[in-house]
């Protein structure tokens, strides 16, 4: 019955993930996967020889209560941080399981010992790296931290962790000082690997650590002989790996470049040389321009999330539609600070799924758009990605907002984006800058359109 329960849980995990592939069924997919976890957790209580039920119940109550509270209270703008820290907890749990098994040292074969050590290494890296990602997204740590010889130092630390891991695999005892050093080095490597990565690369980093967490759980599932952990970890690991590849492809950069280049660390020094000047527009003129347009394409970015402007932007768009304007939303794969960040915010605001388009679907429509409204997006609409071989983002597929007849950019100030690269779009002849907080600007646009 336990194995049957684990099989049922695994099926619920897989079916839940499948349903998450569409925004229409994603909510149900979350519920299905949660039901699978509930089944697996309950079945574990009946495992032969299980004890410490009181501690198990206390742990579940603390963890479940904390998750329920934060899930209800954390704002959508802070969702990337929550995803990062929860993902890190998964890797940390896998590493903790490995630590217990290594301290016990009771392995049926050498292969299980090897899997335990590998799972411990991967889980520790995912845990500490995710904590750094959380700190950066939460603003507790600066976006990047680079010093001379950093990559060599990282390589030395990783190599030392591998050496101590091999010692654990080959020695008669798997506990003691060697185990402590091994985990210390693995945790240190996760921290050091994430420190130089800029905030603009966080979507890729989060999906990568998600994949590592899944792999660590799968390895520890083999060690424990737990089918549910094996299947769930494999599903998460493979899905996270594919997502990481898609994120990197969307930026036209290899994973190695994301992890080791320190992209975005140079701040303003990385700004591209641009010609022209920024031209301002007030909310009244911008509202008139869009109210009498035929088609408006809205491009949201992280700035919209920070301003929590998604509800007001959708209210404004509905007013435009009432006036006969065709409104569509264009989403870049790496917009925001986690995969699908903009989709989640727009869904929360009630934007219909059929109005949200990805890069490949919408790019051909920008030349026919009367206005492209950019709210909080920066690098994903920067035309130097097509034109300047010296730019750090050269070759990255972008949304072709600059090809619209008119471009209105809602921006809090004149600074560069999160990656520190100047946006040539802001200086084009067909671009107008509408400065201000995203939500306040949206309110002004709503009032202006209502008066027309």
d(CA 350, CA 362): 20
Out of 126-135, 144-153, 323-332, 382-391, least confident range: 144-153
pLDDT of 1 strictly over 80: yes
CATH of the domain at 347: 3.40.50.1220
In a shared domain, residues 254 and 362: no
In a domain, 50, yes or no: no
* pLDDT tens for each residue of 63-86: 999 999 988 888 777 888 888 999
| pLDDT top residue among 216 and 388 | 216
Cα distances from 337 to residues 28, 40, 138, 206, in angstroms, run 24, 31, 11, 9
In a shared domain, residues 285 and 404: yes
In a shared domain, residues 340 and 416: yes
pLDDT bin (cut points 50, 70, 90) of residue 261 is low
Catalytic site includes residue 379? yes
Pick the last residue of a domain from 215, 238, 260: 260
Pick the last residue of a domain from 230, 260, 290: 260
Count of structural domains within the chain: 2
d(CA 3, CA 366): 54
Residue range 373-377: mean pLDDT, rounded:
91
In a domain, 204, yes or no: yes
- Structure confidence at residue 415 (pLDDT): 58
In a shared domain, residues 219 and 296: no
In a shared domain, residues 250 and 277: no
Percentage of residues in the chain with pLDDT exceeding 90?
A: 48
pLDDT of 36 strictly over 70: yes
pTM for the model stands at 0.80
In a shared domain, residues 354 and 445: yes
* pLDDT tens for each residue of 171-197: 877 678 889 999 999 999 999 989 888
Annotated catalytic residue: which of 322, 358, 370, 379?
A: 379
* Domain that includes residue 152, residue range: 74-260
d(CA 332, CA 334): 6
The answer to whether the beta carbons of residues 238 and 20 sit under 8 Å apart is: no
In a domain, 200, yes or no: yes
In a shared domain, residues 309 and 225: no
For residue 359, give every residue at least 6 positions away whose Cβ sits within 8 Å of its Cβ, in sequence order, or none.
250, 330, 331, 332, 333, 397, 398, 399
Residue range 229-239: mean pLDDT, rounded:
90
In a domain, 54, yes or no: no
In a domain, 40, yes or no: no
Exposure of 144 in the CB half-sphere (CA atoms within 13 A): 23
- Structure confidence at residue 276 (pLDDT): 67
In a shared domain, residues 215 and 319: no
Residue range 271-287: mean pLDDT, rounded:
76
pLDDT of 391 strictly over 50: yes
pLDDT of 27 strictly over 60: yes
């Amino acid at each position: 019955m336990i194995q049957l329960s684990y099989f049922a849980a695994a099926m619920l995990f897989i079916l839940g993930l499948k349903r998450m592939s569409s925004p229409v069924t994603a909510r149900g997919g979350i519920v299905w996967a949660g039901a699978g976890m509930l089944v697996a957790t309950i079945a574990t209580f009946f495992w032969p020889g299980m004890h410490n039920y009181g501690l198990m119940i206390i742990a579940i109550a603390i963890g479940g209560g904390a998750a329920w509270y934060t899930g209800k209270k954390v704002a959508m703008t802070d969702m990337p941080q929550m995803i990062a820290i929860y993902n890190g907890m998964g890797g940390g749990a896998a590493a903790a399981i490995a630590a217990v098994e290594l301290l016990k040292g009771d392995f049926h074969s050498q292969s299980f010992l090897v899997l335990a050590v590998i799972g411990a290494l991967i889980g520790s890296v995912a845990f500490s790296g995710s904590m750094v990602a959380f700190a950066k997204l939460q603003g507790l740590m600066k976006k990047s931290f680079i010093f001379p010889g950093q990559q060599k130092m990282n390589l030395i630390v990783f190599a030392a962790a591998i050496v101590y891991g091999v010692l654990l695999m080959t020695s008669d005892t798997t506990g003691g000082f060697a185990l402590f050093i091994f985990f210390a080095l693995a945790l240190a490597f996760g921290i050091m690997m994430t420190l130089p990565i800029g905030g603009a690369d966080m979507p890729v980093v989060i999906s990568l650590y998600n994949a590592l967490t899944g792999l660590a759980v799968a390895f520890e599932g083999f060690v424990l002989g737990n089918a549910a952990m094996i299947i769930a970890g494999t599903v998460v690991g493979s899905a996270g790996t594919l997502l990481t590849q898609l994120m990197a492809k969307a930026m036209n950069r290899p994973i190695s470049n994301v992890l080791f280049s320190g992209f975005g660390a140079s701040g303003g020094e990385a700004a591209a040389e641009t010609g022209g000047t920024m031209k301002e527009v007030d909310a009244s003129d911008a509202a008139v321009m869009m109210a009498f347009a035929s088609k408006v394409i809205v491009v949201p970015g992280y700035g919209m999330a920070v301003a929590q402007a998604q509800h007001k932007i959708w209210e404004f768009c509905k007013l435009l539609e009432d006036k006969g304007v065709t409104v569509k939303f264009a989403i870049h794969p790496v917009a925001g600070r986690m995969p699908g960040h903009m989709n989640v915010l727009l869904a929360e605001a009630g934007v219909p799924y059929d109005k949200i388009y990805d890069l490949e679907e919408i790019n051909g429509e920008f030349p026919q758009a009367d206005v492209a409204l950019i709210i909080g997006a920066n690098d994903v609409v920067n035309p130097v990605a097509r034109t300047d071989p010296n730019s750090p983002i050269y070759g990255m597929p972008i949304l072709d907002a600059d090809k619209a007849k008119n471009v209105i950019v809602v921006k809090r100030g004149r600074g560069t984006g999160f990656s520190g690269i100047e946006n040539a779009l802001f200086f084009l002849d067909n671009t107008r800058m509408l400065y201000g907080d995203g939500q306040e600007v949206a309110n002004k646009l709503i009032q202006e359109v209502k008066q027309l």
